[in-house]
Chains A and B, each alone.
Chain A
Amino acid sequence: MSDRRLDLAATGPALFIILCIAAGLGVDSYSQYVIALAIVAILVGAALVVLVGLARCITLASGSIMALGAYASTLAVLDLGAPYLVSLLLALFAGAAAGWLIALPGTRFRGHNLAMVTLVFQSVCIILIRQSTWLTGGAEGIRVPSATVFGWTIVSDLGFLVLIGVLAAAMTLILTILLRGPFGKCLQAAANNEIAAEAFGVNVRGYLTAAFIVSSIAIAFAGALAAPRIRILDPDSFGILESIFLLAYPIVGGMQSVWGGLLGGGGLRILPELLRPVADYQELFYATLVIVIVMFFPGGLTELLRRGAALIGRSGRGRLSKAIAPGTPWSGTIPAVALPIPAPTPERAEKLLLVEAVDKHFDALHAVDAASLAVPVGAIHGLIGPNGAGKTSLFNIISGFLAADGGRIEFAGEPLLDLRARDRIRLGITRTFQNVAVFGQLSCLDNVIIGRGCNGVVEAMGASFDRFIAGAPTLQARREALAALDSAGLADQAQSLAGALSLGDQRRLELARAIVSSPKLILLDEPVSGVSEAEAEELRQLLLRINAERTIAMLVVEHNIPFVARLCRTLSVMGAGRVVAEGKPAEVIALPTVRQLYFGEEGPA
């Protein structure tokens, strides 16, 4: 499929809703009512895919947010005399405010703690609605006036179906565009690996907050759409049970695309109608469905359909798409011998990274003790030392994931210590990770595009719409990312899912992601841990080539000393928090102090 067609595929879910409207034109009014409510559920499902699926934040507050939207729009019509369409805007604001409020504490927690936070929000909201009798009518509820749009007062179920359908389709389109564009990719990256995301300029809390706000806006909007058709609003129909039921939408449907919310929301809303003959066992059926899906189809109904389609496709016309097949082992071409590299002499070379007397304490432990080192422009410098020597602490201080207690770090003449980790990429520092930290659910290409570091929340939202409308603005990013993938020998894997690559290829992908922003320095955190000797040698050649071709300096922390000695031109050795030796690898390794560090009290065995 061409890129342009991929971009336009974002209209799919919205078109599906329009089809639902069309299908509802010829049926009786009760069916129209059911379809209209199913469309509302589809919108809620799509909204929850953003939050529960992509951002991986559990929420038990959806019921209360629907209530907020419904009450906000209804009260705007009743008390302020606002037209229905204007009252919908108020619902959007109510949703945004609710999302932001939940995100304030919510982005600090995960799992059951987050469930508790959202549960508290849910309960407080419903209690407030019930207690504010003067405003909301309390537990008895409030009558919702008929919706009037451009002078047309809607009373028939057909009218509601068209109104709800068109507006829900519009909102679903917006969600789909956001989800499929850079915003969705960065959000997935943030949820996938917080540290790796921050290292490449993704503001994780910012993205999670945005996810709460975006999904809450859509859920509140859904509530406001449903309100005039429900006719009576009362707080108890938006209780905790409703929230749990809503949470099942993305779980049953599938968490990775809007289609999941669509199948889960629409399906679960229609199901009671189909189960009418066995209404007494409805809950039992629901529970079984959820358990079966969670156990056997963790990807939800979308996965089920995809597997079904793959089966049919295979018997029909073979594999549908080769592009998304899991990665085949890399077999590109790299020069058999490393290019001759002009080694800059440390004395004359300009200092790029300057670490001076950096200190770090963990309680009584002096993890880093007045450590100093320097990395010249274009150098490859190694940092070695036994377990607990303080290498990782110093590495994390340089990369910005640990605050130093004292000392100074300069990078290209600028002080580094006060800069947040995610801002260091802008100065030209990137990194790789000891436990490979590729964003497994994204393609290699998307991984590298995120590596460019242009990942502001608002920019990404804008870019998502730009890409849908024009397709063009991301071309530059694509070209650069493909070039970086090519440098790392992964050109033919651009569309493969990163998580499906072999470890060696994941390490290459990390390198592609680290070089795409043309940094001045890459921090390599144990680049060959867990890879075979042959792969380690390939990686070494690749690192030397990147260093030579792009003049990128490298600081390498690695336990595999034979590897470091062959890769680096200079080494620093740490022991008990101090830098105890420095110099050329062969000389440093031969020092008695270094051997003593590694082998304990006495000399080596």
Chain B
Amino acid sequence: MIALRVTGLMVTYGPVVAVRDLDLTIEAGEALALLGPNGAGKTSAVEAVAGLLPKRRGKVEFLGEDISALSASAIVRRGLALVPQWRELFRNFTVEETLLAATTAAVGREPIPLDSIYDLFPVLQERRLQVAGSLSGGEQQMLAIGRALVTNPKLLLLDEPSAGLASGIARTLIQTITRIRQSNVAILLVEQNMEIARAIGERCCMLAAGRLAWQGSMQEATERNEAVRVYFGEH
């Protein structure tokens, strides 16, 4: 079963073309890493898939349904949740309020119990009555992931979860995402940190200047040093 199929996606900001002719697919339960240098269009692609950016052209299918024209809220209700870059939390909501608010997006399926989220992130239970704005960067990232998970998604879009966090965070993130994958959630991971990308991604797509520059298995990418070629333009 194919979880996500993107065909011919084009995203523009006025005259600026951020993503051109992007095709990609994610199988149910699969983890795909979307890599590429800054400005390659990764975040634009992911936000367009989630319905947060208008699509100039192209089609997005989720679990066989065409969601190209749906609003972001309709998309998340169908089970496609985004953890945005820089987290975008509701700063005045407590941890628990944030999670509870997100459960309303689980329509037609059971939300994940808050206890399971606290089980995954024990520190969130400790901070449960604290407002999101007062959490540390790492805790905020956990809350952002928890907020997406509580909607019981079939596909989780993670946009640079390591961005702006202390360097030790990589190992924790790898553990967390690995545990999430055990519940058969498909993952699209945008990441600059290769350590995380390689630990999580089974397949990888590389973008450069808005286009798909390479795709294949993570192992092959590592062996052929594809990232260096895409980033630095060597052959």
Is B one of A's binding partners? yes
A435 touching B16 by the CB < 8 A rule? yes
Please tell me if B88 contacts chain A, counting CB pairs below 8 Å. Answer: no
Structural contact, B37 and A589, CB atoms closer than 8 A: no
Contact partners of A139 in chain B: CB under 8 A: none
B167 at the A/B interface (Cβ < 8 Å)?
yes
Contact with B along A567-605 (1 / 0, CB 8 A): 000000000000000000000010000010011111111
Q: Which A506-538 residues have C-beta < 8 A from chain B?
A: 506, 526, 528-533, 536
A565 at the interface (CB under 8 A from B): yes
User: Is A105 part of the binding interface, using a Cβ–Cβ cutoff of 8 Å?
Assistant: no
Residue pair B194, A604 in contact (C-beta under 8 Å)? yes
**Is the Cβ of A605 less than 8 Å from the Cβ of B233?**
no
Q: Tell me if B16 and A530 are in contact (CB < 8 A).
A: yes
Q: How many Å lie between the Cα of A601 and that of B171 in the bound state?
A: 11
Answer yes or no: B198 CB below 8 A from chain A CBs.
yes
B108 on the interface (CB 8 Å rule)? no
Chain A contacts for B210, CB-based, 8 A: 530
Mask, A536-568, CB within 8 Å of B = 1, is 100000000000000000000001111101000
Q: In the complex the two chains form, what is the Cα distance from A560 to B38 in whole Å?
A: 8
CA separation between A531 and B16, bound complex, in Å? 7
Q: Are the CB atoms of B17 and A503 closer together than 8 Å?
A: yes
Q: Does A368 contact B (CB under 8 A)?
A: no
- Expressed in whole angstroms, the minimum distance between the Cβ of A558 and any Cβ of chain B is 9
Residue from B39, B209, B227, B232 in contact with A605 in the complex, judged by beta carbons closer than 8 Å: B227
Given A388-B164, A561-B37, A530 contacting B222 (CB threshold 8 A): no
Cβ-defined partner of B15 (8 Å) among A387, A388, A502, A563: A502
A386 at the interface (CB under 8 A from B): yes
Residues of B within 8 A of A36 (CB): none
Interface contact B231-A598, CB-CB below 8 Å: yes
Is the pair A595, B228 in contact by a Cβ cutoff of 8 Å? Answer: yes
- Given known pairs A565-B233, A589-B234, the reply for A600 and B39 (CB within 8 Å) is no
- Counting chain B CB atoms within 10 Å of each CB, the highest count among A526, A561, A595, A600 belongs to A600
Provide the bound-state CA to CA distance between A528 and B17, in Å.
11
The distance in angstroms between the C-alpha atoms of A353 and B197, with both chains bound, is 39
How many chain B residues touch A (CB < 8 A): the figure is 39
Distance to closest chain A CB from B216 (angstroms): 11
Choose among A386, A562, A595, A601 the residue that contacts B195 (Cβ–Cβ < 8 A): A601
Q: Are B15 and A605 in contact (CB under 8 A)?
A: no
Q: Which residues from 162 to 202 on chain B have a C-beta closer than 8 Å to any C-beta of chain A?
A: 162-164, 167, 170, 192-198
Are B221 and A605 in contact (CB-based, < 8 A)?
yes
Is residue B13 within 8 Å, beta carbon to beta carbon, of the partner chain? yes
Chain A positions within 8 Å of B192 at CB level = 386-387, 598-600
- B163-A387 in contact (CB<8A): yes
- 1/0 contact string of B146-164 vs chain A (CB within 8 Å): 0000000000000000111
Across the interface, name the chain B residue whose C-beta is closest to A501.
Answer: B15
Interface residues of B in 6-33 (CB under 8 A from A): 13-18, 20
B226 contacts the other chain (CB 8 A):
yes
> Are A601's CB and B170's CB within 8 A?
yes
Chain A residues, Cβ within 8 Å of B228: 595, 604-605
The smallest beta-carbon distance between B99 and chain A, in angstroms, is 28
Within 8 Å of chain B (Cβ to Cβ): is A436? yes
B231 A561 Cβ-Cβ under 8 A: yes
Chain A residue with the shortest CB-CB distance to B38: A559
A602–B198 Cα distance when bound, in Å, is 11
Q: How far is the CB of B213 from chain A (nearest CB, A)?
A: 10
> B232 is contacted by which of A501, A531, A589 (Cβ under 8 Å)?
A589
Distance of A528 Cα from B233 Cα, bound (Å): 15
> How many Å lie between the Cα of A532 and that of B211 in the bound state?
9
- Contact between B227 and A600, CB atoms less than 8 A apart: no
Given contacts A502-B15, A559-B37, contact A599 B164 (CB under 8 A): no
**Interface check B225, CB cutoff 8 A:** yes
Residue of A nearest to B211 (CB): A533
A28, B152: Cα distance in complex, Å? 79
Complex CA–CA separation, A536 to B196 (angstroms): 32
CB contact between B197 and one of A386, A526, A529, A605 (< 8 Å): that residue? A605
Closest 6 CB pairs of A and B: A562-B233, A530-B16, A600-B193, A503-B15, A599-B194, A559-B38
Question: What are 18 A-to-B residue pairs whose CB atoms are below 8 Å?
Answer: A386-B38, A386-B192, A387-B38, A387-B192, A388-B164, A506-B15, A530-B13, A559-B37, A563-B233, A565-B232, A599-B193, A600-B192, A601-B167, A602-B194, A604-B225, A605-B218, A605-B222, A605-B227
Known: A530-B15, A560-B37, A598-B37. 15 other contacts (CB 8 A): A387-B192, A388-B163, A502-B15, A506-B15, A532-B20, A533-B209, A559-B39, A565-B232, A600-B170, A601-B193, A601-B195, A605-B35, A605-B198, A605-B226, A605-B227
